[in-house]
């Protein structure tokens, strides 16, 4: 019997905090030393607000794969699907080298696993294959 495959992650991480500190330090430097326009500083600063929210709120995301079910959660979203309902799982490598996972049900319905709940593709694919769940790999496709 195969063990339960579990993937967990938090919104707060050292790289996210480091990137935020670097962005805000660069913006402060541009404003104080280079006399950058406040409108430009504000627009660039606003682009970092989603990352700031993730650091402050620290939302949890994860996925678990047992012998019978595939479960995931991300913030307030969650889902549970029986493996017997799954036709296959499509793993798409995107142009930024991230992987998008889509569950294709026997009925033909497609359910996308949220990016933040998607585990590293190699270990996820191995765990799926160990449970006799078919996978499809697609590399660098612009449309699904």
CB-based contact 41:30 (threshold 8 Å): yes
**Which residues of the chain are modeled with pLDDT < 50?**
none
Task: Please give the model's pTM, rounded to 2 decimal places.
Answer: 0.74
**DSSP per position, 23-90:** HHHHHHHHHHTS---HHHHHHHHHHTHHHHHHHHH--EEEEEE-SSEEEEEETTEEEEEEGGGEEEEE
**pLDDT tens-digit map of 12-24:** 889 889 999 999 9
Q: What is the pLDDT of residue 75?
A: 82
């Amino acid at each position: 019997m195969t063990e339960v495959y579990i993937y967990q992650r938090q919104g707060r991480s050292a790289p996210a905090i480091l990137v935020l500190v670097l962005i805000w330090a660069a913006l402060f430097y541009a404003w104080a030393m280079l006399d950058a326009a406040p409108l430009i500083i504000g627009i660039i600063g606003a682009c970092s607000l989603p990352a700031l929210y993730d650091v402050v709120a620290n939302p949890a995301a994860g996925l678990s794969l047992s012998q019978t079910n595939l479960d995931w959660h991300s913030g307030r979203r969650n889902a549970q699907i029986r493996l017997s309902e799954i036709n296959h799982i499509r793993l798409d490598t995107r142009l930024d080298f991230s992987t998008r996972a889509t569950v294709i049900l026997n009925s033909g319905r497609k359910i996308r696993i949220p990016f933040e709940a998607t585990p590293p593709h190699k270990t996820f694919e191995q765990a799926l294959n160990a449970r006799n769940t078919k996978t499809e790999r697609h590399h660098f496709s612009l449309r699904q």
